[in-house]
Amino acid sequence: MEADKVKKYCAFPRVELADRLWPGKIIEQAPTWCSVDLRDGNQALQIPMDLERKLKLFNLLVQVGFKEIEVGFPAASAVEFAFVRELIESNRIPGDVTIQVLTQAREHLIRKTFEAVEGAKNVIVHLYNSTSTVQRRVVFGAAKAEITAIATKGAHLMQELKSRSNNPGIRFQYSPESFTATELDYALEICHAVLEIWQPCATNKVIINLPATVEICPPNIHADQIEWMGQHLKNRENLIISLHTHNDRGTAVAATELALMAGADRVEGTLFGNGERTGNLDIVTVALNLFSQGIDPGLDFSNINRVLQTYEHCTRMSVHPRHPYSGALVYTAFSGSHQDAISKGMAARGTVGSPLWNVPYLPIDPGDVGRTYEKIIRINSQSGKGGVAYLMEQEFGLKLPKTMHPEFGRIVQKVTDKEGGELNPKAILDIFKKEYLQTTSPYALKQCSIHTAAEEESSNAKAKTSINAVVNMNGVQTYIAGKGNGPIDAFANGLKEQLDFDFTIESYDEHAVEHGSSSRAVSYISLKVGEKTAFGAGLDSSISLSSFKAMLSALNRLENV
Q: What are the sequence ranges of the domains in the chain?
A: 31-315, 336-435, 443-560
- Distance between CA atoms of residues 471 and 551, nearest Å: 12
- Distance between CA atoms of residues 246 and 158, nearest Å: 27
Low-confidence ranges of the chain (pLDDT < 50): 374-375, 456-461
CATH class of 443-560: alpha beta
**Helix locations, 372-486, DSSP H:** 385-396, 405-419, 425-432
Q: Does 324 sit behind a cis peptide bond, omega within 30 degrees of 0 on the bond before it?
A: no
Q: Could you tell me if 282 and 252 are in contact, meaning their C-beta atoms sit under 8 angstroms apart?
A: yes
Can you give the pLDDT at residue 459? Answer: 43
Q: Cβ neighbours of residue 203 under 8 Å, at least 6 residues apart?
A: none
Can you give the pLDDT at residue 515? Answer: 64
Give kind and range of the element (H or E) at residue 244. strand 239-245
- Distance between CA atoms of residues 286 and 297, nearest Å: 9
CATH number of 31-315: 3.20.20.70
The yes-or-no answer to whether 31-315 and 443-560 have a common fold is: no
3-state secondary structure of 165: helix
Task: Return phi, psi of residue 182, to 5°.
Answer: -105, 140
- pLDDT tens by residue, 152-162: 999 999 999 99
C-alpha pair distances (Å), 319 with each of 315, 323, 326, 481: 11, 7, 8, 64
Q: 3-state SS string over 308-333?
A: HHHHHHHHCCCCCCCCCCCCCCCCCE
In the chain the first and final C-alpha atoms are separated, in Å, by 56
Q: Could you tell me if 105 and 128 are in contact, meaning their C-beta atoms sit under 8 angstroms apart?
A: yes
Q: What is the β-pairing status of strands 443-457 and 460-473?
A: antiparallel
- pLDDT tens by residue, 321-342: 999 999 988 888 777 678 788 8
- Distance between CA atoms of residues 227 and 236, nearest Å: 12
* Gyration radius of the chain's alpha carbons: 35
Can you give the pLDDT at residue 453? Answer: 78
Can you give the pLDDT at residue 328? Answer: 87
In 3D space, the residue among 76, 50, 43, 80 whose CA is nearest the CA of residue 275 turns out to be: 43
Can you give the pLDDT at residue 236? Answer: 98
C-alpha pair distances (Å), 530 with each of 187, 366, 474, 503, 556: 84, 47, 21, 8, 15
pTM, to two decimals: 0.75
Q: Cβ neighbours of residue 173 under 8 Å, at least 6 residues apart?
A: 100, 124, 125, 126, 127, 206, 207, 208, 209, 242
Give kind and range of the element (H or E) at residue 84. helix 78-89
